[in-house]
Amino acid sequence: MKKQFLITLTLFVSTISFAQITPTFGVKAGFLSSGIRGEASSNLDNLLSFSNGAITTNNRTGFFAGGYAGIPLTDMISIEPGLYYSQKGYDLVGSINIKGVGFLGANAKARLQSSYIDVPVLLKVNVSGLQLFAGPQFSYLMKANLNTTAGLLGFNFINSNMDATAQFNRWDAAITGGVGYKLSKGINISASYDYGLSKLDANKNAKAYNHAFKIGVGFDL
């Protein structure tokens, strides 16, 4: 993963040097809905146990924020690398035990809250303000917390937090793409989808991958 990132960064810097183009810069923020493709519960087997397979998975809503650079190659085509902080994760709902604590019940919830640094490198096409973009994205997991709750009659009688970072692969890779529109005065809006390619568990055994839908608003500086 590190090798792929360095190759991409080298190609990006070489492109700028060759084209002798001064990049523009901007900031962007927005909301995302993230989840897991594949064996979501397998990522937490060392911390949780599950009974009868009665587990449902829900997306987690978070936010992302950061900056980007625009490198024009032609009047219509540009390269856009970025650096963003992103909140990801997912919810597990069902018959869950937290190891060392005891049975939590049929309606317990385990919420994984993950913090990533995302580095997308996008190829963007701009046609009269309409923008289409796609490219690779490399991510680094900063922290993963597992919050487990269980309650009865509206009262939570267990609310447990633990550090789950060691259960997950620190590095992630994805393909991201979407559509946007550039308004007047440098304002742009976008909607995109991240399709994770790297297995999430630390041992890379479970077929589980990140995915996320993003809606953002950007502003050229």
pLDDT at 37: 84
pLDDT at 7: 53
Whether residue 147 has pLDDT greater than 90: no
Integer Cα distance of 168 and 139 in angstroms: 13
Fold entry, domain 2-220: Porin (2.40.160)
Long-range contacts of 155-159 (CB under 8 A, 24+ apart): 158/98, 158/101, 158/104, 158/108
Helix (H, G, I), strand (E, B) or coil at 129: coil
Give the pairing of strands 77-98 and 48-72. antiparallel
pLDDT at 167: 87
pLDDT digits (tens, 9 = 90+) for 28-72: 999 999 998 887 767 776 667 665 556 677 899 999 999 999 999
pLDDT at 49: 64
Whether residue 204 has pLDDT greater than 90: no
Backbone angles phi, psi at 101, to 5 degrees: -110, -40
The model's confidence at residue 105, banded by pLDDT at 50, 70 and 90, is low
pLDDT digits (tens, 9 = 90+) for 148-179: 776 554 455 566 788 989 989 999 999 999 99
Whether residue 219 has pLDDT greater than 90: yes
CB atoms within 10 A of CB 185: 7
pLDDT at 46: 67
Place of tokens 């978070």: 62
Integer Cα distance of 115 and 108 in angstroms: 23
**68 and 218 in contact (C-beta within 8 Å)?**
yes
Q: What is the mean pLDDT of the chain?
A: 83
- Pull the structure tokens for residue 203: 């041992």
pLDDT at 53: 54
- Region 189-201: mean pLDDT is 94
pLDDT digits (tens, 9 = 90+) for 10-26: 555 555 555 557 888 99
pLDDT digits (tens, 9 = 90+) for 72-89: 999 899 999 999 999 999
Instruction: Give this prediction's pTM.
Output: 0.81
